[in-house]
Amino acid sequence: MIKILYEDNHVLVVVKPKNMPVCFDSSGDVDLLNYLKDYLKKKYNKPGNVYLGLIHRLDRPVGGVMVFAKTSKAASRLSDQVRSGKVCKKYYAVVCGYLCGSGEFRDKLLKDSRTNMVRVDPTGKESCLKYNVLWSNKNYSLVDIELITGRSHQIRVQFSSRGYPLFGDQRYNVNSKVGEQIALFSYYLSFIHPTTHEVMEFSEDIPNRYPFNIDI
């Protein structure tokens, strides 16, 4: 079951499970977008295809809060908010190594479409995030992250490029063990409702699993 946080005639806010693709891919696994279309079709007994607009993405291994648009008008307005930086997204991440304090990372990130890998490169797109360390020990640090831009693999690359790869990141952490789950979770999302113009805020508790709960 997919957890539904909010639904009206214009938007649908859900919690994406970890390891579920947002869209259909070559794996053939059930994807979130089509799962939710089927949910709407059955709930409202709709004939034919159901419209559901994809506004933003989460990497397959990453879970967390997402918003979808139930009308094309809502999709257009929410997409405009994403482009203009009016959608706020915050994450919890456990990085490898001792990190303290708070700060801001600014880099230019470039994606190689052939390998689906991202790297810091002077020809890349401007990328920025803010972070605050919640706890740390000699091995790991729990970080609260606010994305200022929303580039592909941004959090994973900006931390790994500074020597703090995410726990369980199979792409950017060379020391990650096979089968480890990436410690990244999108816990907070806010946006302006496309028709009522009300500020909508949604959040989820930190996952109660290793390594997020080391300090509990």
Half-sphere exposure of 62 (CA within 13 A, CB side): 24
What pLDDT is attached to residue 24? 82
What pLDDT is attached to residue 91? 98
What pLDDT is attached to residue 175? 95
pLDDT surpassing 70 at residue 216 = no
Structural domains in the chain, sorted by start? 3-203 (3.30.2350.10)
**Residue 42 to residues 2, 6, 39, 50, 55, Cα–Cα distance (Å):** 14, 17, 5, 10, 22
CA distance 3 to 6: 9
Among candidate residues 25, 38, 59, 205, the one labeled active-site is: 59
User: Per-residue pLDDT tens for 71-127?
Assistant: 999 999 999 999 999 999 999 999 999 999 999 999 999 999 999 999 999 999 999
* pTM across the whole model: 0.95
pLDDT surpassing 70 at residue 136 = yes
Helix (H, G, I), strand (E, B) or coil at 197: coil
**29: annotated active-site residue:** no
**Residue 216 to residues 94, 135, 142, 151, 206, Cα–Cα distance (Å):** 14, 10, 12, 31, 11
User: Per-residue pLDDT tens for 174-194?
Assistant: 999 999 999 999 999 999 999
User: Per-residue pLDDT tens for 10-40?
Assistant: 999 999 999 999 998 878 889 999 999 999 9
